[in-house]
Amino acid sequence: MTRFVDVKNMVRWVSTTGPERIIRGMIEYVEADFARWNSFDKSPRVASHTPFGVIELMPTSDGETYAFKYVNGHPSNPARGFQTVTAFGVLADVHNGYPTFLAEMTLLTALRTAATSGFFAKYLARPDSRTLALIGAGSQAEFQALGMRAALGIEQVRLWDTDPAAMEKVARNLTPLGFDVVIAASAADAVDGADVITTCTADKALATVLTSDLVAPGVHLNAIGGDCPGKTELDPAILERGDVFIEFEAQTRIEGEIQQMSPAFPVTEFWRVVTGEHPGRTSPEQITIFDSVGFAIEDFSALRYLRDAVDGTEFFEEIDLVASPEDPKDLFGLVGQLSPVG
Ligand SMILES: NC(=O)c1ccc[n+]([C@@H]2O[C@H](COP(=O)([O-])OP(=O)(O)OC[C@H]3O[C@@H](n4cnc5c(N)ncnc54)[C@H](O)[C@@H]3O)[C@@H](O)[C@H]2O)c1
């Protein structure tokens, strides 16, 4: 039998445990997996692009457990009543290839993306960071704020989105959680005095939601919305001014903000910072940039975290996903004994 966490159980688990506590725990799992980076199979995700958006498969394995996530990105979806990003994922046992764990990952992706943002910020942001500018107030926004609070103790969130209703939604969701939420009048107003800037907008375009003059020395920039060929958020001049940290170079060169730069543009794979090979932030004035696209190992960590967290609870069910005849060679025997129809 395969353990299965559906949307109903995911919602119950997250509501009972609390999203910030989950993100904090997930940061530890993502960090542990980045620290053993070289034990994973790695490849850029497999993307199928259409004029409507992208559908992607994200596989990896550590030699014991295999994982993949199915995820889409359709920036025009909200206008049609659908979400921009939805996902589900699987863990499997490499010894016999059987799937052991299946989960919804629309919510889990928001939690893992927040955990990854927090994890990078823990190493790269100034430790005294208390103010977050959040540009993009869609599905990921509240999770991103919680990720930065879990990692850094962020207190104030300065919001900007071209959709005022989305900003009001985020203010409504974050204020009761103890954040001091400021609805800004523009991107420039949002980043004024911010220690950390998160861009999480969705547009299938080479957009510029942030220009270089808006990025002050010392800021940590967490850019999560530029994650597909032809879909970026930052003025390339910002990348020239800062030090760019990425997940997996072969994927980020195709999908990240750095798709706008030459193939030789210098970047650092973040596992090198985690293992101490690279110093990360070296001065309070340095601009650090996480050019985030989302990598398979983070989903592996998130699925692993969820699997361990729900073990022994009522937040999963067992489903019959693999046909298992008593004689492993007699698959036909499962259906051959039925009386013929007609
Ligand atoms: N890097 C990762 O790991 C990762 C993971 C999940 C999602 N994402 C990406 O993050 C982005 C946000 O995802 P979501 O699910 O919150 O999307 P969403 O569609 O729910 O929200 C996006 C928001 O951006 C706003 N927006 C668009 N253009 C803007 C602009 N120029 N200035 C200000 N606001 C603008 C929209 O009004 C909307 O409220 C998407 O691009 C998605 O693909 C990345």
Per residue in 106-144, pLDDT (tens digit) is 999 999 999 999 999 999 999 999 999 999 999 999 999
Q: What is the pLDDT of residue 336?
A: 86
Distance CA 322, CA 176 (A): 44
Q: How far is the CA of 202 from the centre of ligand 1 (A)?
A: 3
- Contact call for residues 67 and 297 (beta carbons, < 8 A): no
Tell me: pLDDT of 83 over 80: yes
Tell me the mean pLDDT in the region 283-300: 98
Distance CA 82, CA 118 (A): 27
Q: How far is the CA of 199 from the centre of ligand 1 (A)?
A: 8
Q: What is the pLDDT of residue 342?
A: 58
Tell me: pLDDT of 337 over 80: no
DSSP 139: T
Mean pLDDT, rounded, of the chain:
96
Pocket of ligand 1, beta carbon within 6 A: 73, 78, 84-85, 109, 113, 135-140, 160-163, 166, 200-203, 207, 209, 224-225, 227, 292-294
Single pTM value for the model: 0.96
Question: For the sheet containing 65-73, what is the strand order?
Answer: 46-50, 53-61, 65-73, 87-93, 99-104, 2-5, 317-319
Question: Which tokens go with 31?
Answer: 């960090």
Q: Which atom of ligand 1 is nearest to the CA of 85?
A: 15
For a ligand 1 pocket test, name from 142, 189, 224 the mutation site with the most ligand atoms within 8 angstroms of its C-beta. 224
Q: Which atom of ligand 1 is nearest to the CA of 140?
A: 16
Distance CA 95, CA 320 (A): 19
Query: ∠146-299-46 over CA atoms, to 5°?
Result: 125
Tell me the mean pLDDT in the region 319-331: 96
Give how far the C-alpha of residue 168 lies from the chain's centroid of Cα atoms, to the nearest Å: 23
Per-residue burial over 30-51, b = 16 or more CB atoms within 10 Å of its CB, e = otherwise: bbebbeebeebebebbebeeee
Which residue lies with its CA nearest to atom 37 of ligand 1? Answer: 163
Tell me: pLDDT of 86 over 70: yes
Tell me: pLDDT of 64 over 80: yes
* Upper half-sphere CA count for residue 240 (Cβ side, 13 Å): 9
Which residue lies with its CA nearest to atom 34 of ligand 1? Answer: 161
Distance CA 283, CA 276 (A): 16
Q: What is the pLDDT of residue 77?
A: 95
With bands split at pLDDT 50, 70 and 90, how would you rate the model's confidence at 339?
low
Q: How far is the CA of 203 from the centre of ligand 1 (A)?
A: 7
pLDDT tens per residue across span 140-166:
999 999 999 999 999 999 999 999 999
Q: Which amino acid does the sequence have at 182?
A: V
With bands split at pLDDT 50, 70 and 90, how would you rate the model's confidence at 205?
confident
Tell me the mean pLDDT in the region 49-76: 96
Q: How far is the CA of 337 from the centre of ligand 1 (A)?
A: 53
Tell me: pLDDT of 341 over 70: no
Q: Which residues contact 154 (CB under 8 A, 6 or more apart)?
A: 129, 130, 131, 132, 145, 148, 179, 196
Distance CA 47, CA 294 (A): 13
Tell me the mean pLDDT in the region 290-303: 98
Which residue lies with its CA nearest to atom 39 of ligand 1? Answer: 138
Catalytic residue list: 227
Which residue lies with its CA nearest to atom 8 of ligand 1? Answer: 225
